[in-house]
Structure 1
Amino acid sequence: MSCSSSEEEYIPVPYQLEIPQLFKEKLIAPAIPNNNPLTQEGVALGKKLFFDKKLSGDGSQSCASCHHPQKAFTDNLQFSVGIDGKQGSRNSMPLFNLAWNFDEKFAWDGKDFTLENQALEPVANPIELHANWTKVAERLKNDAEYPTLFSQAFGTTKIDSTLITKALAQFERTLISGNSKFDKFLLGEVALTPEEQNGFDVFMDEAKGDCFHCHGSNNNPLWTDNQFHNNGLDRSFSDLGLGAVTGDPADHGKFKSPSLRNLKFTAPYMHDGRFATLEEVINHYSEGLQASPTIDPLMKKVNQGGVNLTPKDKADLKAFLLTLSDEEFINNPDFKE
């Protein structure tokens, strides 16, 4: 005879990310922390939490309220509105390909180190979900399903902010966008129109658009460098961006380069949502640059106001940018409630 527990320990099943072919060819493996490996149970729990309004103070909003799947996980508002009707001063960032953010600095200003930590603030923030983490955990403990789900995902019925945000981060790392028209073009599956091809050439040409330094290329399918730049929006700053985080005046006015994927779904644009259309964004870089002490050296033509594109090159550049839109991503049932 031997001693045995009346119940076998539940072992979660490893989750296999579906990595696009181009990502396998052009990028190194995604960054998955050793202390939060992806499991089927953890991802499923994170998805349930992402859409659950129990994470807000009054039970009226969820993470998905500001990060809609069919809007590439943003909300198309200049500033999102929290449960108390208050607005912030930043545009809601879209969520995809987060597992390849290797410096692990999240948010427009890089204030959140690791995806797990990023999820902590919105729940407690008084202008967002405005909840108390202890009360949120109590709600979940008293729920009919969550204790079992946490036990299956993490081997404990304990529920707290650490495990909640671990689960959310697991789900968010599965949000992969890599099947746009341009991806298919690079794989030899479709052709670009002459306008789209010219737009890509403008994007890559240092004498014209000169966009690729910050926003990726055919060799960087993330379409961002995940770094922080002052891109000439203002001469002075009411929002210091990265500078408010580091305390370094040299970082004033620097914000994270967003991915150019899925621009069709994510207007308005920039950290403060000031541009309603892609035409406005292109016009900014063409003739709207503002000089300031911290402007990025890559804004090489700031003294001329910008790169001064022709109307045709502007239109073709927009046509190319729209080829980075991934309809499959926004319609993926695995990412919906």
Structure 2
Amino acid sequence: MLKNLLPGLLLCPMMQVSWAEQAAESPAQLRIESGTAGELALELEDRANASWLLQTSPDGREWTSLESVRVPNSTLSIRGLELPANPAKGFFRAVSVGSTPPLSLEEALALPATTYNYAKANNTPSHLARIVSRVTIDNRKATLGRVLFYDRRLSANNAVSCASCHLQENAFADPQRLSPGFEGRLTDRNTHTLLGVRTYGGRTSEVFMDGRATNLREAISSVIEHPSEMGMSLESLPAKLAAEPYYQPLWQAAFGELPVSGEGVVEALAQFVEAMPTFSTRYDAFLTGDLQALTAQEQQGRTVFGQRCNGCHIQPLVSGQSFENNGLDAVTTDPGRGAVTGLASDMGKFRPPSLRNIARTAPYMHDGRFATLREVIEFYDHGTRPHPNRSSKLEQPINLSEADKLALEAFLRSLDDTAPDDPAFSDPFRSELEIGP
């Protein structure tokens, strides 16, 4: 790793180091991703979202300019650059060209000409209607919420966005046990999926696995302002966003002539999250009459689930409507719900999570201690500990047969829905640049 002496300069010896840094006071970084087939792939990270001039040199003395690029949302992948004749001795650098005008909507975002139909989430199938919160989704607010969800400007130093911890390919959970916040400090618990948020509408509507927020909007506000997560004041955020031209048409479409506000940011984010599908699994198709939607093994697993697991994960397998201690530890290591209520009887209790997309949301439990579904099954089969608050449903080992364990896992893997692959919920920022003829 090289430390550069000049501010505004990022330097990489071609193909010899992975990272180079700018001067210490700058957060910009340049990384070589690969160099194959005569081409070079780079990643430029710049929290100031400035303009950069890409240059190459065979000896580090005379430089040839290749391309001028702008960083729309802190990171930019650059592909298609030609390698020099002798890459082992070549150099590559990015030179900051100073202050640049803010990006327009077309420069920053790749949004469809016709807004995605987020309002389809208003239509809840009958088998979920009794438990899924009834909300009205506005396509324009959800579109704004999508941009906000992926915008790193929502953090104090432009380092992280909501999507940094809630990754679409992982069903909006985090594959890491703990998630790094805007300053790199780790969260106390594993980041769970957002896809079950609308199921917090039964007997209890609290959000987070310990229920410390009374509703989704309060939860969103608390994450943005959390000193270890995003560290951004909702009072100062509107001015920061209003300075970006691409927010002006999006905000006007969603809220008319109302000025940018923290409340509006939270509302738009909530609309986007509430629009995420929760009922497009093969399991839902089975419940609505398509008996071929599940294989024979998956149907066997559903039967096993109904006999052994349905006490806490009540079908149709959305988030639990109570808080339970599942016997992870014999003594309290995380107070969970007990920290919210102050009751000894709530120590170590957490809300049973939604099982939809469970195969894509590893690791599991509030601390991410289990890496695989099989580990979870083995734990519930015979591994729970005798905590004083352990659920009475877990006092006796289950002792499933191997066939039943395999069937149960197969059934759980049938619970994937469309959100992790739906472009309507993907990153809208232009984060890749292809250079070349």
TMscore range, shorter length = 0.7 to 0.9
2:312 maps to 1:214: yes
CA RMSD of aligned residues (A): 2.1
Give distance in 2, aligned partners of 1:318 and 1:96.
Answer: 20
Q: Is the 8 A contact 2:196 2:354 kept in 1?
A: no
- Number of residue pairs matched? 308
Residue ranges of structure 2 left out of the alignment (5+ in a row): 1-116, 428-437
Identical columns (%): 35
Q: Which amino acid counterpart does residue 311 of structure 1 have in structure 2?
A: E
- The structural deviation recorded for 1:20 is 6.4
What residue number does 1:316 align with? 407
- In the superposition, relative to structure 1, how do residues 193 and 31 fare at CA in structure 2: closer, same or farther (>3 Å)? closer
- The structural deviation recorded for 1:282 is 0.6
Give distance in 1, aligned partners of 2:371 and 2:127.
Answer: 34
What residue number does 1:11 align with? none
Question: CA-to-partner distance for each residue in 1:242-269, whole Å, 9 max, x for gaps?
Answer: 1100111111110011011111110000
Q: Determine which structure has more spread, i.e. the larger CA radius of gyration.
A: 2
Q: Is the 8 A contact 1:224 1:259 kept in 2?
A: yes
Q: Which amino acid counterpart does residue 261 of structure 2 have in structure 1?
A: D
Q: Which amino acid counterpart does residue 421 of structure 2 have in structure 1?
A: N
1:251-330 matched pairs, under 5 angstroms? 251-301=346-396, 306-326=397-417, 328-330=418-420
Q: Is the 8 A contact 2:121 2:276 kept in 1?
A: no
Which of the numbers 138, 161, 177 marks the counterpart of 1:78? 177
- The structural deviation recorded for 1:108 is 1.1
Give distance in 1, aligned partners of 2:187 and 2:293.
Answer: 42
Give distance in 2, aligned partners of 1:250 and 1:295.
Answer: 10
- The structural deviation recorded for 1:183 is 2.2
What residue number does 1:94 align with? 193
Match of 2:269, SS state, is helix
- In the superposition, relative to structure 1, how do residues 108 and 29 fare at CA in structure 2: closer, same or farther (>3 Å)? closer
Q: Which amino acid counterpart does residue 280 of structure 1 have in structure 2?
A: E
Q: TM-score, normalised by structure 1?
A: 0.85
- The structural deviation recorded for 1:319 is 1.0
Question: CA-to-partner distance for each residue in 1:283-335, whole Å, 9 max, x for gaps?
Answer: 1111111112211122241xxxx212222221221111111122x22111111
The structure with the greater share of residues assigned to helix is 1
Q: Which runs of 4+ in 1 moved over 4 A?
A: none
Give distance in 2, aligned partners of 1:29 and 1:111.
Answer: 20
Question: CA-to-partner distance for each residue in 1:112-148, whole Å, 9 max, x for gaps?
Answer: 1111111012222222122233332211121213244
Q: Which has the higher contact order (CA 8 A, sep 6+)?
A: 1
Q: Is the 8 A contact 2:286 2:294 kept in 1?
A: yes
2:277 maps to 1:176: yes
Q: Is the 8 A contact 1:20 1:178 kept in 2?
A: no
What residue number does 1:8 align with? none
Q: Is the 8 A contact 1:148 1:157 kept in 2?
A: no
Question: CA-to-partner distance for each residue in 1:162-200, whole Å, 9 max, x for gaps?
Answer: 221111101111001322222233331625333222211
Q: Is the 8 A contact 2:199 2:318 kept in 1?
A: no
Q: Which amino acid counterpart does residue 178 of structure 1 have in structure 2?
A: F
The structure with the greater share of residues assigned to strand is 2
Which of the numbers 168, 192, 195 marks the counterpart of 2:297? 195
Give distance in 1, aligned partners of 2:263 and 2:196.
Answer: 22
